[in-house]
């Protein structure tokens, strides 16, 4: 999967990968409904969390990489701490999404949803959760800290350039 | 439940999807969607890289010129994509003579340009040029998004030059209506950037907008791939997609000033924003004003735009709402069949 969608065709590629990845989640959900095996449920949890995290982190990491903040070779101290904070917030949100989707799909035991119908539920749940995410103070703090670090670095670089130019 | 059958159905759906995706990519790659204007035009005035485009077309018997001022945050060609999706065309169809400002490309010299340069220098010189060319004292102004904010400031400083003003999806109270831009901007150190400005890469602005609604973008992309009808409109889709990814670089000082003074301090509605010697007082605007805003706008909430009515005399104020989003008002088929032709007609009649 491409890690950023910075042009239109990339966006379709990225979205398609997300769609296909969602089918893997749906297969696991169907298995979970059929067997109620706790181990399979754990596998399902991990899979959906992975999908959610990958999509969201991709969206942000592409923004952050433009500011030089997600290159692990150059990332230091506070930058890394902020990225870890971001991942932790996203990790906390993922189970809520999974619960909501599984709950809705479970209601269709005798009339299994077409994958497209599952995807509609899945993506709308993601949209709803994402709105809550970007409006949360914790998340805004995290992003603000990242951007402020970038500003500080850029301003310091500019000061050096200005002093060299007299 | 037949688990195997279900899995087989999923496979079939995915296989069908892959075929549609391939078809979309093939069609996409065959498109010629270079950035450009649909309507023939020429540059009739240029100043420090800023251009004033003059669009060609029958201007009927209403020679009073209209100037479109678009946001600096995106490129203005969104106002003229195709004949069916062109604000420029809607205006020409109503007999207007249309001009548009294209802000200059941002280079190292732009870093220290503040908002007064954009208002006092670029906008004022453009308006004086058009007034001189047509031998008229006033023109009609259409400001879009940030461009609308610029136009409000300008019309409050120079009411004598503006015959009527249209604001489209224009933030006025920058903190109203749960504005996500304000929420994110609150804690960012724009004052520091204002002191030592650094140009902001356009790619960062693009990715900021994309990051606000990544799953909406996924959903929309899947709808485009899945819907065979979308291939018929792929040219328009591709033009809009391309435009979304082309945010220009932002001039450091002006951008920081806009975010600090307007979003963080909300100085426009507080009557505290100064451009040079001029304190911006929206009450100075004495021309007819039409305020267009979108009810599902996630960038400029309707509450942020609609508050304008408090500052304009009620006899001079009108508004129209569009049931859609920020970009939809500019490119939506519905908008081009209803609200935009109505706006063009309003301009014809506003001063009568």
What is the CATH classification number for the domain harbouring B168? Answer: 3.40.50.1820
Number of H helices, E strands in chain A: 5, 0
CB-based burial label for A48 (10 Å; 0-12, 13-18, 19+): buried
In this prediction, residue A7 has a pLDDT band, given cuts at 50, 70 and 90, of low
Question: Smallest CA–CA separation between B183 and chain A, in Å?
Answer: 7
- Where does a domain end: B247, B281, B312? B247
Same domain, B170 and B192: yes
pLDDT for B344 beyond 70: yes
Nearest to A143 among B184, B207, B218 (CB): B184
Percent of chain B with pLDDT over 90: 76
Please indicate whether, in this complex, the C-beta atoms of B14 and A115 are within 8 angstroms of each other.
Answer: yes
Q: Same structural domain for residues B71 and B211?
A: no
- Chain A residues with CB inside 8 Å of B238's CB? 8
Q: Are B138 and B350 in contact (CB under 8 A)?
A: no
Judge if B3 and B73 occupy the same domain: no
- The ipTM value here is 0.83
Touching check for A45 and chain B: CB below 8 Å? no
- Measured between CB atoms, which of B183, B213, B241 is closest to A11? B241
- A154 to A140, B66, B129, B206: CA distances (angstroms): 21, 40, 38, 19
Q: Is residue B235 located within the same domain as residue B110?
A: no
**pLDDT band at residue A157 under the 50/70/90 scheme:** confident
State what percent of residues in chain A have pLDDT above 70: 77
CA proximity to B343, closest of B172, B173, B164, B170 = B164
Active site residues of B: 145
Judge if B78 and B209 occupy the same domain.
no
Using the beta-carbon criterion (under 8 Å), do A15 and B183 form an inter-chain contact? no
Residue B130 has pLDDT above 50, yes or no: yes
Q: In Å, how far are B140, B215, B285, B291, B343 from B313, measured between CA atoms?
A: 18, 42, 9, 13, 19
Whether A1 and chain B come into contact, CB under 8 Å, resolves to no
What is the average pLDDT value for chain B, to the nearest integer?
A: 92
Residue of chain A whose Cα is closest to the Cα of B216: A127
- Pair B153, B193 in one domain: yes
Contacts of residue A26 in chain B, CB cutoff 8 Å? Answer: 10
Enumerate the residues of chain B whose CB falls inside 8 A of the CB of residue A143: 184
CA distance A12 to chain B (A): 6
- As a three-state string, the secondary structure of B209-245 is HHHHCHHHHHHHHHHHHHCCHHHHCHHHHHHHHHHHC
Instruction: Using pLDDT thresholds of 50, 70 and 90, give the confidence band for residue A121.
Output: very high
Domain count, chain B: 2
Residues of A within 8 A of B24 (CB-CB) are 12
Say whether both B293 and B334 belong to one domain.
Answer: yes
Q: Please give the model's pTM, rounded to 2 decimal places.
A: 0.89
Whether B135 and B270 share a structural domain: yes
For A154, residues 6+ apart whose C-beta sits below 8 A from its C-beta are B198
Lowest mean pLDDT among A75-84, B2-11, B18-27, B60-69: A75-84
The pLDDT tens digits of the residues spanning B141-193 come to 999 999 999 999 999 999 999 999 999 999 999 999 988 999 999 999 999 99
Domain range for B238 is 1-31+205-247
Percentages (nearest 5) of helix, strand, coil residues in chain B: 50, 15, 30
Examine the domain organization and report whether B40 and B120 are in the same domain: yes
Distance (Å) from the alpha carbon of B12 to chain A's nearest alpha carbon: 10
Q: Which residues of A are less than 8 Å from B214 in CB distance?
A: 55-56, 58-59, 130
Which of B247, B276, B305 finishes a domain? B247
Q: What is the pLDDT of residues A42-95, one digit of tens each?
A: 887 787 777 777 766 665 655 555 444 444 444 455 555 666 777 788 788 888
Same domain, B54 and B132: yes
Nearest partner of B9 among A134, A115, A98, A151, judged by Cα: A115
- Both B160 and B271 in one domain: the answer is yes
Q: What's the pLDDT band for A115 if we cut at 50, 70, 90?
A: very high
In terms of domains, do B279 and B138 share one?
yes
How many angstroms separate the CA atoms of B166 and A1, rounded? 44
């Amino acid at each position: 999967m491409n890690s950023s969608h910075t042009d239109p065709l990339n966006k379709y590629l990225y979205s398609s990968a997300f769609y296909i990845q969602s089918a893997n989640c749906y297969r696991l959900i169907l298995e979970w409904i059929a067997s109620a095996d706790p181990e399979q449920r754990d596998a399902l949890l991990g899979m959906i969390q992975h999908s959610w995290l990958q999509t969201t982190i991709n969206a942000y990491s592409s923004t952050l990489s433009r500011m030089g903040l997600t290159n692990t070779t150059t990332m230091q101290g506070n930058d890394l701490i902020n990225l870890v904070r971001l991942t932790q917030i996203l990790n906390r949100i993922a189970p809520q999404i999974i619960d909501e989707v599984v709950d809705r799909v479970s209601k269709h035991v005798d009339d299994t949803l077409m994958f497209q119908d599952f995807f509609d539920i899945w993506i709308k749940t993601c949209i709803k959760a994402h709105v809550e995410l970007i409006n949360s103070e914790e998340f805004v703090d995290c992003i603000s800290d990242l951007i402020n670090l970038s500003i500080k670095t850029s301003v310091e670089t500019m000061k050096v350039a200005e002093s060299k130019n007299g | 439940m037949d688990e195997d059958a279900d899995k087989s159905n999923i496979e079939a759906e995915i296989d069908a999807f892959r075929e549609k995706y391939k078809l979309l990519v093939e069609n996409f790659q065959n498109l010629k969607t270079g950035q450009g204007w649909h309507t023939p035009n020429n540059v009739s005035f240029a100043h420090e890289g800023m251009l004033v485009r003059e669009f060609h077309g029958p201007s009927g018997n209403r020679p009073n010129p209209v100037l479109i001022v678009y946001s600096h945050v995106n490129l203005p060609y969104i106002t003229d994509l195709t004949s069916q999706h062109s604000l420029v065309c809607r205006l020409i169809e109503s007999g207007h003579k249309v001009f548009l400002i294209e802000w200059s490309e941002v280079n190292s010299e732009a870093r220290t340009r503040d908002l007064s340069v954009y208002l006092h220098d670029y906008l004022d010189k453009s308006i004086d040029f058009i007034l001189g060319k047509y031998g008229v004292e006033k023109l009609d102004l259409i400001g879009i998004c940030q461009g609308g904010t610029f136009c409000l400031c300008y019309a409050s400083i120079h009411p004598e030059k503006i015959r009527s003003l249209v604001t489209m999806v224009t933030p006025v109270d920058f903190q109203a209506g749960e504005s996500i831009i304000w929420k994110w901007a609150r804690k960012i150190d724009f004052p520091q950037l204002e002191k030592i400005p650094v140009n902001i890469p356009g790619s960062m602005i693009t990715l900021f907008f994309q990051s606000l609604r990544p799953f909406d973008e996924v959903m929309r992309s899947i709808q485009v791939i899945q819907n065979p009808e979308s291939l018929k409109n792929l040219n328009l889709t591709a033009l809009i997609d391309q435009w979304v990814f082309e945010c220009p670089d932002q001039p450091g000082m002006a951008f920081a000033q806009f975010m600090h003074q307007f979003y963080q301090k909300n100085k426009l509605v507080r009557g505290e924003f100064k451009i040079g010697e001029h304190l911006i007082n929206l009450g100075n605007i004495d021309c007819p004003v039409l305020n267009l805003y979108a009810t599902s706008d996630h960038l400029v909430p309707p509450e942020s735009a609609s508050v304008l009515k408090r500052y304009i005399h009620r006899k001079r104020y009108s508004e129209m709402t569009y049931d859609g989003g920020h970009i939809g008002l500019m490119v939506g088929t519905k908008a081009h069949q209803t609200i935009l032709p109505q706006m063009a007609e309003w301009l014809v009649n506003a001063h009568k």
